[in-house]
Structure 1
Amino acid sequence: MEFISPMLLEQIEKPFSDARYVFEPKIDGHRLELSRSNGKTRLFTRHYNDVTLKYPELVTDGPDIILDGELAVMDPDTGIPDFELTMSRFQSKKSRLPISYVVFDILQYDGVDLRDQPLLERKSILDCAITDSPTISKIAYIDGRGEDLYDLIVKRKMEGVVAKRKDGRYHAGKRTDDFVKIINYSYADVSIAGWRKGDFGWLAHVNGRPAGVIELGVPPTHKQAFNGVAKTLITGEDREFVCVQPLIKARVKFRNLTKGGMLRSPVFVKYIFSA
């Protein structure tokens, strides 16, 4: 069964509008490639893990095809993708939470490789190749008005926007500015209460309570500055962390709060210095 390494997204900070692009909502789930050949369907994550048995709803008859999309479980109250529910379905052997496979590209169809076709031509073929259902659907997109879509995404508290050049080709396994993402981040001020002994990570506290681990966005110079001060603030340690007095403050950006009140994927922005 053929697997094509998915094209990846460059990231930019601000939304934009441009008639050369179409804009899609970013679906907060996990990447999923559907590959069907000779009547046999296989499902793969972006890292080539076979997850066919996890989603039997997607194993159906049809033409030879390779689809690229996002697998999500929707919040039953809002209809918005819920990452925690998605991970619950992904990690459980018994869960049958209803899934939505949102398809945004078609890479092969009926034996023809489509990756060198412009995006809008691929989307036209995709329109004919699959019929929307509660389980599988084509992603919606708008022409040129990225800022309008981003404003709507913010109001609905969704993950972000993906901008794609209309004439963009599909570059397997690569990042190019043909496809870019703009994340709808929230921001918080945290205290750094320790560092992880293994892989880099700072333990973040909010109002004196653990709120996540900062792993991303910290420049080497800022790590050095932290190490120089933090060693004088050590209060103890456990198996995973060295704990310090939470006197060093930082601003972080994050995707959303988990149901347990943790910052999801916090990214360092800057230190905060008291006046």
Structure 2
Amino acid sequence: MLATPGPLPTGPEWVYEVKWDGMRLLAEVTDGELRLVTRSGQDVTATFPELSGLTAIAPDLVLDGEVVLLEEGVPSFAALADRVHRPVTRTRALARPVTFMVFDVLRLYGVPLLERPLHERRATLERLTTASVPTLQLSPLYTDGRALFEATGRRGMEGILAKRRESEYRPGRRSPAWVKVTHRHTQTCLVGGWRPERSGTRIAALLLGVPDGGDLVYAGRVGVALAGAAVQRVLGELVPELEADASPFRGRPPRAEAAGAHWCEPVVAVEVAHHGWTSDGRLRQPVFRGVRADVDPADVRREG
């Protein structure tokens, strides 16, 4: 279930939680075996061995939440970059473990809970014995949305989510019963091309697009030359392997931005921060935030 962007709703029918700046995961335990799956359906169980203790909670359950890496108590999306695309050893994972911020339970002991209202699912979640899993935390709920929004702004966090107490869980659907309110504009885009640095050893910039119907609409260029080694490694492994003979965009990007570009199949999702949209549909001052391996390219759309 996905949230809809919007203004902050208020009233006793709503509860609020922090919008964690991490990777959305479903954790499914079946017959005592754990499987971690991203929104895009990618199995990342081997990527987060420090979450193996989730099997101790119950032999059959499904949890929904976000994996985060905390820096001084604040989630850092960039810090996840080196953990997303390849399995890691348990020793390395435990040296800097992620935290699974759980906010929903969808199945327990074989009983589906999707049609139960949120407040019942939350009560079930809070009754689970999770103390033996140090890498799991329950995402706190609050009743004062405005105060939480102000507090997250002061901490430099992404924003908050408002959820209707009576809302059922609709898998894969973007629902008005969940509303996300953010402090900054962010947009998930698909990479349609890239420009190398003059040395040819690193990627200097990505050419971005957002689907519109059956077309990919050019949304602008974002620099990644200053991105860390982990990001460059991930992009270097993903993007060149998808090289295409022609531009995937509807209409050719501006000549100055497309000069020297390599085109690719638009299946790699990345997230950028920005200052709004221009009248011709380009992102204003986009800043690269990271690769979104947890996002299905088919789900990408303009956020407004």
Is TM (by shorter chain) over 0.5? yes
Q: What's the counterpart of residue 237 of structure 1? A: 259
State how far apart, in whole Å, the 2-side matches of 1:151 and 1:137 are. Answer: 22
Larger Rg computed on CA atoms: 1
- Sort the Cα spacing of 1:186 and 1:36 in 2 relative to 1 into closer, same or farther, 3 A: closer
For 1:117-159, what per-residue CA distance to the aligned partner results, in whole angstroms no more than 9, with x for missing partners? 110110000011142453001100112x211110111100101
Letter in 2 for 1:87: A
State how far apart, in whole Å, the 2-side matches of 1:184 and 1:258 are. Answer: 15
SS of aligned partner of 1:153: helix
Instruction: Give runs of aligned pairs for residues 162-177 of structure 1, distance below 5 A.
Output: 162-177=161-176
What is the number of residues matched between the two proteins? 222
Instruction: Give runs of aligned pairs for residues 97-112 of structure 1, distance below 5 A.
Output: 97-112=96-111
State how far apart, in whole Å, the 2-side matches of 1:119 and 1:134 are. Answer: 25
State how far apart, in whole Å, the 1-side matches of 2:161 and 2:61 are. Answer: 24
For 1:146-179, what per-residue CA distance to the aligned partner results, in whole angstroms no more than 9, with x for missing partners? 1111011110010111010001000111111111
State how far apart, in whole Å, the 2-side matches of 1:153 and 1:100 are. Answer: 18
Matched, 1:252 2:284: yes
For 1:216-235, what per-residue CA distance to the aligned partner results, in whole angstroms no more than 9, with x for missing partners? xxxxxxx99x97xx56xx59
Letter in 2 for 1:136: L
Instruction: Give runs of aligned pairs for residues 1-275 of structure 1, distance below 5 A.
Output: 7-12=1-6, 14-60=7-53, 61-63=56-58, 64-75=60-71, 78-94=72-88, 95-96=92-93, 97-132=96-131, 133-143=133-143, 145-185=144-184, 196=207, 200-203=218-221, 234=256, 237-240=259-262, 252=284
- Sort the Cα spacing of 1:148 and 1:82 in 2 relative to 1 into closer, same or farther, 3 A: same
Letter in 1 for 2:64: D
State how far apart, in whole Å, the 2-side matches of 1:70 and 1:257 are. Answer: 20
Query: 1:37 Cα deviation (Å)?
Result: 1.3
Provide the TM-score with structure 1 as the length reference.
0.69
Query: 1:58 Cα deviation (Å)?
Result: 1.6
Bigger mean CA offset, 40-49 vs 124-133 = 124-133
State how far apart, in whole Å, the 2-side matches of 1:253 and 1:154 are. Answer: 21
State how far apart, in whole Å, the 1-side matches of 2:258 and 2:43 are. Answer: 43
For 1:42-69, what per-residue CA distance to the aligned partner results, in whole angstroms no more than 9, with x for missing partners? 1111121111111122223342110000
State how far apart, in whole Å, the 2-side matches of 1:89 and 1:33 are. Answer: 17
State how far apart, in whole Å, the 2-side matches of 1:130 and 1:91 are. Answer: 31
State how far apart, in whole Å, the 2-side matches of 1:268 and 1:41 are. Answer: 33
Sequence identity, in percent?
28
Query: 1:33 Cα deviation (Å)?
Result: 0.7
- Sort the Cα spacing of 1:50 and 1:253 in 2 relative to 1 into closer, same or farther, 3 A: same
Provide the TM-score with structure 2 as the length reference.
0.63
For 1:224-267, what per-residue CA distance to the aligned partner results, in whole angstroms no more than 9, with x for missing partners? 9x97xx56xx59811249xxxxxx9x87386x7759xxxxxxx8
- Sort the Cα spacing of 1:204 and 1:42 in 2 relative to 1 into closer, same or farther, 3 A: closer
- Sort the Cα spacing of 1:268 and 1:34 in 2 relative to 1 into closer, same or farther, 3 A: closer
- Sort the Cα spacing of 1:238 and 1:27 in 2 relative to 1 into closer, same or farther, 3 A: same
State how far apart, in whole Å, the 2-side matches of 1:202 and 1:237 are. Answer: 13
Q: CA RMSD in A?
A: 3.6
Bigger mean CA offset, 130-139 vs 174-183 = 130-139
Q: Which runs of 5+ in 2 are unaligned?
A: 187-204, 210-215, 228-249, 264-279, 291-301
State how far apart, in whole Å, the 1-side matches of 2:152 and 2:100 are. Answer: 19
State how far apart, in whole Å, the 2-side matches of 1:197 and 1:121 are. Answer: 41
State how far apart, in whole Å, the 1-side matches of 2:87 and 2:171 are. Answer: 30
